[in-house]
Amino acid sequence: MSTTVRELLEERARAAHIALASETATRLERYFELLSHWNRTINLTSLPLEPPTEQSIDRLLIEPLRAIPLLASTVRVWFDLGSGGGSPAIPLQVAHPAHRLFMVESRERKAAFLREVIRDMKIQDAEVLCTRIESLVESRSRNGSADLVTVRAVRLSASLFSQLDGLLKVGGQAVLFGPGPQKLDLPRGLEIQYAEAPLLVVRRRTI
């Protein structure tokens, strides 16, 4: 008999020493079901979903939950960049909701998926912005407005750090998921708060 999403999620949460409330597990399971269904026709993730594997559960659900202890207790404005298949944004909003979450995704079909997740799961205070990250940064004040920025980063580039610098308010955090050891060249206003793969947390300095 194959392991269900719920069983594998609870097993991987225990292995990561994460306390997982029953309601949170139920909602994360529903998100995974929606992702699996849409992934049959839209390339949302290359991770194996049918059947679920430890790798897919860890990357899509457990990694976002691992970031929660590193975050501020209250997050008012949050931008998730290149939201794609919805992780880390959806799991984090389920388990550690922000007052306002903006999922930034330039591809319309993926944006449609994200809107459907919001509708189906009745996720409060979440909105999808179908725009390019560069356009978003240009429209914001240079001083930034975000308490939190998240991104599943493949490569840590100077342009990415420049975007984070433009979006974050003073004292705000950026959490990058998935970066391995790489050379970091941070803008003057940013500093590393936490670095242990697969998480990198960067903070905008207060001075």
pLDDT(143) > 60:
no
Please tell me the predicted confidence (pLDDT) of residue 1.
Answer: 43
Q: Is the pLDDT of residue 141 over 60?
A: no
What domains sit in the chain, N to C, each tagged with a CATH number? 5-204 (3.40.50.150)
Please tell me the predicted confidence (pLDDT) of residue 156: 83
- 98, with CB counted inside 10 A (0-12, 13-18, 19+), is buried
Residues 207/199, Cβ–Cβ less than 8 Å:
no
Q: What is the DSSP letter of 60?
A: I
**pLDDT, tens digit (0-9, with 9 covering 90-100), for 93-118:** 999 999 999 999 999 999 999 999 99
Q: What is the pLDDT of residue 172?
A: 96
**pLDDT band for position 139 (cuts 50, 70, 90):** confident
- Is residue 171 predicted with pLDDT exceeding 70? yes
> Is-above-0.85 flag for pTM?
yes
Query: Which pLDDT tens digit goes with each residue over 38-73?
Result: 999 999 999 999 999 999 999 999 999 999 999 999
Per-residue pLDDT, averaged over 67-87, amounts to 96
Angle at 131 between CA 86 and CA 30, to 5 degrees: 15
